Amino acid sequence: MAVNRRVLIASLGVAVVVSILGGWAISRGDADGFDPEDDITLGTPGVVQIPSIETNASVAGTQLPTAMLEDNAGNSVSTADLVGQPLVINYWYSTCAPCKKELPDFAAVHADLGDRIRFVGVNPYDTPAVNETFARDRGVQYELLRDPGDSYGSTIGVATAPFTIFVRADGTIARQTGVLDEATLRQYAEELLG
């Protein structure tokens, strides 16, 4: 059976174009098929706000709430036990791209100010092994805690990460932020030392 070369080449060309366009269309949405550009219809009237740093609860000026965390060995640690000196708490996890980017900056500032400011990383999702190795591979040497029951996250109102709070020695939250670079982190940390 003779194959028409022109028909074969045209068919392959169409298949390539369809594959490229199909791949592009799939990449424009997320794994669940949700595209943030899509219109959303609510079952009841209201306003939807996609979680962002702006949807985190405003906590600056309040006391650090008490929540129970765990160290990587599974021992309970209360946030109340963290208070007593200036404190920086960074809420992060390994699959958060901005968290991954800022961890080396936290490591650098901690190396310079860690003797005067307590740094703590709080991870809500990762296993103890991932919590430890992921942070250490990025130079982090400060205390790492876990929030497997979302005690801290829900108590403080975290909607998205990274989320960092700067706490005065008396337990008052001086500032909260989203993503930080080294210079801004250093500035805010030094303000705690006032």
Q: Residue with structure tokens 């074969």?
A: 8
Name all domains of the chain by residue range, CATH numbers in brackets. 53-193 (3.40.30.10)
Q: Are 70 and 146 in contact (CB under 8 A)?
A: yes
For residue 120 the two structure tokens come to 């703590």
Q: Are 154 and 49 in contact (CB under 8 A)?
A: no
pTM exceeds 0.85 for this model: no
User: Which phi-psi region, left, alpha or beta, contains residue 175 (left: φ > 0; alpha: ψ -120 to 50)?
Assistant: beta
Strands 173-177 and 163-167, by their bridges, are antiparallel
- CA trace torsion 46, 177, 156, 128 (10° rounding): 120
* Burial of residue 164, with CB atoms counted within 10 A of its CB: 0-12 exposed, 13-18 middle, 19 or more buried: buried
The phi, psi pair for 174, rounded to 5°, reads -85, -35
> How far apart are alpha carbons 136 and 138 in whole angstroms?
5
Residue 6 contacts by C-beta under 8 Å, 6 or more apart in sequence? none
For residue 106 the two structure tokens come to 């936290």
What one-letter code names the amino acid at 178?
G
DSSP letter at 58?
A: P
pLDDT in tens, the chain (194 residues): 555 677 667 666 666 666 666 665 555 544 444 444 556 565 677 655 444 455 567 778 889 999 999 999 999 999 999 999 999 999 999 999 999 999 999 999 999 999 999 999 999 999 999 999 999 999 999 999 999 988 998 898 888 889 999 999 999 999 988 899 999 999 999 999 98
Q: How many helices (H) and strands (E) does the chain have?
A: 5, 7
> How far apart are alpha carbons 42 and 56 in whole angstroms?
22
Q: Are 99 and 162 in contact (CB under 8 A)?
A: yes
